[in-house]
Structure 1
């Protein structure tokens, strides 16, 4: 069963809700969360978690939640997860602090993708759930919004140093999001009348003195021009010390992060560069595409117009040693790069991606790379040229001079492998994929 990881959540813009409130520990943890679960079951429209994760994973039920709480009960607190592996993906973490101190209930919810909350009725039901939770657990502050946009707003520190953030908490309205719950203290500091008169889609006073403020009918269109104007106007209303034009300009600048950039990658590297951009988080992906659009690796120079004759006494034995090196690379990496056993152009792209993802040249010692990885990689690269392009090995006593003849050129795979493994940047500048593509153009 696949569940959303932090890596998964960073790949797509998610709907995020976070709340920190208090609970009554008098009747035990299970009874403390029952009201939360009741509202969740009532209002989770199409995104209800289906499994409970603790020491083991169980199908969702209140009894399963109770067992999970018991399994995870610790002196410092209790944390369990409610998940939904199917679309839309859901990750909901309940964190109950120690009863001996201020008994805190922290809720962190992510629903992927954000576009799931593009329907008015679904958003209305979520607001009903939030209203119930805020009334039950009295949070100082709670918000729901685009996860990526919250990240750009530097939530929850809002750019403050850690000491200031930990000391002051949410002492003022640093940002305004799609859905906001302001606790009684924050309401008092801003002014109840001012908050209740905020120009927004919904402003509602809750029984415990909190105020619920909802900017727009739906969450998914947070970056539309009208939505940003509403967000800026409401924020400046609540913070008269802020300038409307400045706030709106900042919001529009955040929008630029989400504007799609059309990939125009170097044709030889397009499969590899596409995978690199897919690894970027949603807030950095478009910038990464633009950066890689401008990337033009040098034309491969690891070739000769005429082969140097072999200068080894026993070519067969040398070629056998190359085969051992290549097989050693396959044995070492076949579980991580399964296509390596195929010895194809796609295998080389998969290796490029693996080494880049692992930051291999900078993660491992230079001695290991130079004495083991580079020779094995050069041998493997040469074998791919032989197998897929009809090449012929021309072994030399100095390994780096060993060649593979393809058509009218001879190629130097060991030299390419050495240059390739110098740094993370060199993995792209001297990629195995581009080397193969260049050699392919010269095959007979």
Structure 2
């Protein structure tokens, strides 16, 4: 069953809920989870799950949920995942933990796009769902907020090392998000009277002693100045040791870093850079776009005028060309699963190859000897084949690979030299991209 994952759509900011509540270890699992799924079905609305996934994907239903949890059952835990087949996009995980571990229900929900939660009524329904869950499954801390802004806030570690963060959890008020549920221990740490007097859109004491706090009517406009002021007021109220102006300034800086920046990439590498920024973490994307707008790759240096071309020095040119073809096929064999367009040997396939190597951190991950002996010849030959096939180029084979040339118009190009420069480092994949040198050769072929 095909589902729509976050990686299948244009990346936008999302609303993420993190929720870990305690379970009654004595009750039957279906009885324990009845309030959870009843609230989900009542309040989710247009982001309601359509698919439940355990060992296999099944249509959402209570019966199929029990099947999924049973299929994934281990001695101390089980889990299930929930998705949709259409937008809005949903990724939801449910993990259950059993004795001798502390019995717990651990939920993460990510709904994209965040703009779905610009409507006050939809946000109210979301809050009611979380309120129901928090009343049934006591939490230490639960929160819902923008994925991008959570990352800028340092969640979930908040500046601690990972081991300390896992050990201590949300043991103090590190941040106030759009929606928060503070468990009884946190409430007592802050002071129940202080907690309940927090200036916020909604503050409610739950029957189990937790406190629900919502800073602003809607989640999507968290970057607005009034919403940031409300967030800062709540945070400083709960943490009197903090300075309001300092907290507000930090929040405004986070908002500024998320303001959309129009891409104005250098045309020769725009197809590649567009792919790169789409894969950058959402909270870093606008900064990265601005950096790429100001960046220019160095002009290709792997060429000579046709009048200065090195003559072929091989005894059997046909054999040399067959060897280049075999090298190029090695690149196809390496990448064809992840980069199907590599079969086509087009300019577009060069951008796909560039992106894949960058995405994999290829020069850093693989051994230098293997790169030099296998990857560089394969990449250089493939680049040469694309120049020949698409620009009418002609190979001038040489005994040394670095001296082999492709004649295009009034220039000869050295594809194996380019491949060697290209594979020096991850940054070199951008500085010496295959996309750029192809565009340069295309411009000069006349």
Q: TM-score range by the shorter chain?
A: over 0.9
1:163 offset after TM fit, Å?
5.0
Paired residues, what number? 443
Deviation sequence 1:386-440 (CA, Å, 0-9, x none): 2221222222222221222222222212221222222212211211111111111
Note the 1:234-313 alignment, pairs <5 A.
234-305=234-305, 306=307, 307-313=309-315
Cα distance per residue 1:57-78 (max 9 Å; x no partner): 2111111112222222222222
Secondary structure in structure 1 of the residue aligned to 2:26: helix
Partner of 1:353: 355
Quick one: structure 1 residues 183 and 330, their matched pair in 2 at CA, closer, same or farther if it must change by over 3 Å? closer
CA distance in 2, matches of 1:59, 1:152: 36
Residue 139 of structure 1, CA deviation? 1.4
Map 1:41-440 onto structure 2 (within 5 A): 41-162=41-162, 164-305=164-305, 306=307, 307-440=309-442
Q: 1:210 to 1:161 in 2, by over 3 A?
A: same
State the alpha-carbon separation in 2 of the partners of residues 16 and 237 from structure 1.
24
Change (3 A) 1:362 1:88: same
Q: Distance in 1 between matches of 2:136 and 2:67?
A: 23
Cα distance, 1:38 vs structure 2: 0.7
Instruction: Summarize deviations over 1:9-33 as a string: whole Å, max 9, x none.
Output: 9943211112222122323222211
Deviation, structure 1 residue 248: 0.4
Q: Distance in 1 between matches of 2:252 and 2:202?
A: 23
Question: 2: CA distance between counterparts of 1:326 and 1:102?
Answer: 56
Contact 1:30 1:65 in 2 (8 A): no
Q: TM-score, normalised by structure 2?
A: 0.94
Work out the CA distance in 1 between the residues paired with 2:102 and 2:350.
56
Which is further off, 237-246 or 8-17?
Answer: 8-17
Cα deviation for residue 221 of structure 1 reads 0.7
**TM-score w.r.t. length of structure 1:** 0.94
Residues 125-153 of structure 1 deviation map (CA, whole Å, 9 limit, x = unaligned): 11111111111112122111112212222
Q: d(CA) in 1 for partners of 2:22 and 2:39?
A: 16
Cα RMSD of the aligned pairs, angstroms, is 2.0
Q: Shift of the alpha carbon at 1:164?
A: 4.2
